[in-house]
Homo-oligomer: A and B are copies of this chain.
């Protein structure tokens, strides 16, 4: 059988009933006729409307559930919801791991994305954003000898910056890489003595630069901060060209708390 025969015709696909159920509901949502927060009917109701069996309806609902388009209130009513970034980013991160991307790819993408973020953040950050960053910084300074907590705070720091950029496209674009990238600072803080101090110092400069609306200073320190990660990573004895799978075991543990 030819897997990808370059022929005249596209491969024909017959959608099954449960897929059509899911697609029908999805269309309603995407077209705005079902809005986030609206209830979708009970299963019995959907059975009546679609004229298929409940099992079929349920399989369709599972697709939407995994897509993050619908949610159940504690085993109860089914209603439409906005797919949450975190869940989507999670999936993306997993895909990156499965595709065996290297830390080098992660690093180079982080340089680009975080520089973009900081630039927007300098323009757009509000007082609330700065307050949140300061709170994060205070906690980090109090946790200099706790690599696990520090890595979590580092991840959060950059997520807060992304939020401060007021650009949700950028925020979403950076998140999958960030979920794999920043948690590795745990490793660095653990293995490189001055790692934690350098990290917190860089964060301090970044907050100050954002507060002062100084774009050049912000770019400078963000670049230093990310490049510092690379040096720390190598000094911790890791090869930047290795795939990220190894880190993932711990991440999956972390993720369980988050979900």
Chain A positions near chain B (C-beta within 8 angstroms): 10, 14, 16, 18, 27, 29-32, 36, 55, 58-59, 62-63, 65-68, 75, 82-83, 85, 88, 91-92, 94-99, 101, 105-106, 108-109, 112-113, 115-116, 119-120, 167-170, 172-174, 176-177, 245, 248-249, 252, 257
Contact between A176 and B170, CB atoms less than 8 A apart: no
Contact between A169 and B94, CB atoms less than 8 A apart: no
Residues of B within 8 A of A92 (CB): 88, 92, 172
CB-nearest residue of chain B to A55: B55
- CB pairs A–B below 8 angstroms (30 shown): A30-B94, A30-B97, A30-B252, A55-B58, A59-B59, A62-B63, A63-B63, A63-B66, A66-B67, A68-B95, A82-B98, A82-B99, A83-B94, A95-B172, A96-B168, A96-B172, A101-B169, A105-B169, A108-B167, A108-B169, A109-B116, A109-B169, A109-B170, A112-B112, A112-B113, A113-B116, A113-B173, A116-B116, A172-B176, A173-B177
Q: How far is the CA of A73 from the CA of B5 in the complex (A)?
A: 15
A37 to B: closest C-beta gap in Å: 12
Residues of B within 8 A of A83 (CB): 91, 94-95, 98
Q: How far is the CA of A91 from the CA of B245 in the complex (A)?
A: 24
Which of the listed residues A16, A63, A108, A112 has the most CB atoms from chain B within 10 Å of its own CB? Answer: A112
- How many copies of the chain does the oligomer comprise? 2
CB-nearest residue of chain B to A98: B82
Contact between A36 and B170, CB atoms less than 8 A apart: no
Q: How far is the CA of A85 from the CA of B109 in the complex (A)?
A: 16
Q: Of the candidates B95, B170, B174, which one forms a contact with A88 in the assembled complex, judged by CB atoms under 8 Å apart?
A: B95
Q: Of the candidates B55, B75, B168, B252, which one forms a contact with A99 in the assembled complex, judged by CB atoms under 8 Å apart?
A: B168
- Given known A-B contacts A83-B91, A88-B91, A252-B30, A170 and B62 have beta carbons under 8 A apart: no
Q: How far is the CA of A174 from the CA of B176 in the complex (A)?
A: 11
Which of the listed residues A18, A101, A170, A177 has the most CB atoms from chain B within 10 Å of its own CB? Answer: A170
Q: How far is the CA of A100 from the CA of B89 in the complex (A)?
A: 18
Q: Of the candidates B30, B94, B173, B245, which one forms a contact with A176 in the assembled complex, judged by CB atoms under 8 Å apart?
A: B173
CB-nearest residue of chain B to A85: B95
CB-nearest residue of chain B to A256: B23
